[in-house]
Amino acid sequence: MADLDAEAHFVQDIDETLQAGTWRWTGKRPTIRLRPGSNQALAYSIDFAIAGSTLAQTGPVTLSFFVNDHLLDRVRYVTPDRRRFEKPIPAEWLAPGKSATLAAEIDKLWNPPQPGGKPLGFILIALGLEHLGLEQQVSERK
């Protein structure tokens, strides 16, 4: 979220204000657009946090992770903490050199108590594609 060109990749629901030089608040479905050079051995990767103050109001939340609108996985979180989610992407979901979208959708937004406050999702630290190492590729074939 702190890369110099990060905002050029934002599609929706990612706050323009960089907090503490490292993270941004999200809305319901933060989405970015990338152009991978390959569709082989790539993983969806996201670093994020669920704030205790938001979880106190919403209760447990479920995040759904998408690649080009394909549901990659869905995970329920019951405690606040910093998290990392990473999962291999089926090669047929991406086309080399073509634009791709990555998204993470939260099922419940936190509504601030002050009138006119913007509903918030979660804290987004990083979202993108990772190249799988040979060790990970082998383990995924088992």
Q: How far apart are CA 3 and CA 37, in angstroms?
A: 19
Is 1 within the bounds of a domain?
Answer: no
Is 97 within the bounds of a domain?
Answer: yes
In the predicted model, what is the mean pLDDT of residues 76-94?
A: 97
Is 110 within the bounds of a domain?
Answer: yes
Q: What was the pLDDT predicted at 134? A: 53
> Residue length, the chain?
142
Amino acid at 27: G
**Structure tokens, 37:** 């050079």
Longest C-alpha distance within the chain, in Å? Answer: 53
CATH of the domain at 36: 2.60.120.260
Q: What was the pLDDT predicted at 60? A: 97
Q: What was the pLDDT predicted at 17? A: 94
The tally of domains found in the chain comes to 1
Average pLDDT, the chain: 92
pLDDT single digits (tens) 2-41: 888 999 999 999 999 999 999 999 999 999 999 999 999 9
